[in-house]
Amino acid sequence: MHPKALLSLFLLLIVHSGIAQSSVAKFDNAFALRDGIYTSYQELLNNTPGFPDCILQSTSYIENDPDKIKTTRLNYYKAGDENNVLKYTSPLFATVLKGKLNVYYQKELTPVYSKGTVCTFIYTKDPVTYNKNNINTAPFYSSSQGQLYANPHRGYQSFVCMLDIQTGEVKKLTKENLGLTIARDSVLYQQFLKIKPGRKNKNLFKYIAEFNSRNVTFLPTRIDMSTTEEE
């Protein structure tokens, strides 16, 4: 069959299957994800949170790091219905609140600052310490006999992480990790291999931007999701 005929047949099948009724848009910083709790990256790709318009609520914090949360000790409620709190028992991949994407990584929900096929965010390990009574003290300090003193062995540890929206993998941004994703673009990958050893993240961001522009991910819009629900 002629290629043009195949394309026409494919488009016809799309229309009849209803896919064409849902518009899509480029996934970037301007894209509006639907608010809610996402249990998997597939839900993120479809812009269909497993718990639409819901907000997480933690009932317990991990000792020595109050920013971390236990997925077994989470509740959730529908936005605007705070009095109806339910126990959360599903997997957790990400949340979106007021359009802001937060990825679950290292037992923390961290805001994504750059969206695209490869998203980036900064993970920061909080140096908060506790005394023997598990009372939270100020950062960079620990407690001894009721007195606070500087703890030079603890400090904020920050590093850039990447989320590959096509695979759902979340990793620390390194040349090796980024290379596994860039390899899907054979032309760009040949340039990427020329990066000299020891180059810092600034050079990697250039390739993330280039990869995202060459390998655009399109997601269903929020409007289509609400239309689907009404149907």
130 in a domain, yes or no?
yes
Find the range with the poorest average confidence among 133-137, 172-176, 226-230: 133-137
CA distance 207 to 205: 5
CA 25 to chain centroid: 18
CA distance 216 to 120: 15
Domains of the chain: total:
1
pLDDT of the residue at 123 = 93
State pLDDT tens for residues 12-24.
Answer: 444 344 444 459 9
State pLDDT tens for residues 99-109.
Answer: 999 999 998 99
89 in a domain, yes or no?
yes
230 in a domain, yes or no?
no
Q: Which domain holds residue 107?
A: 23-222
Find the range with the poorest average confidence among 1-10, 29-38, 105-114, 218-227: 1-10
State pLDDT tens for residues 149-205.
Answer: 445 555 667 899 999 999 999 999 999 999 999 999 999 999 999 888 765 667 899
pLDDT of the residue at 60 = 62
CA distance 8 to 190: 35
The β-bridge partners of 7 are none
- Region 127-139: what's the mean pLDDT? 38
6 in a domain, yes or no?
no
State pLDDT tens for residues 40-97.
Answer: 999 999 999 999 999 999 876 544 455 577 778 899 999 999 999 999 999 999 999 9
pLDDT of the residue at 59 = 75
229 in a domain, yes or no?
no
Residue 128 has pLDDT above 80, yes or no: no
The β-bridge partners of 140 are none
32 or 138: which leads in pLDDT: 32
Task: For the chain, give the number of residues.
Answer: 231
147 in a domain, yes or no?
yes
61 in a domain, yes or no?
yes
10 in a domain, yes or no?
no
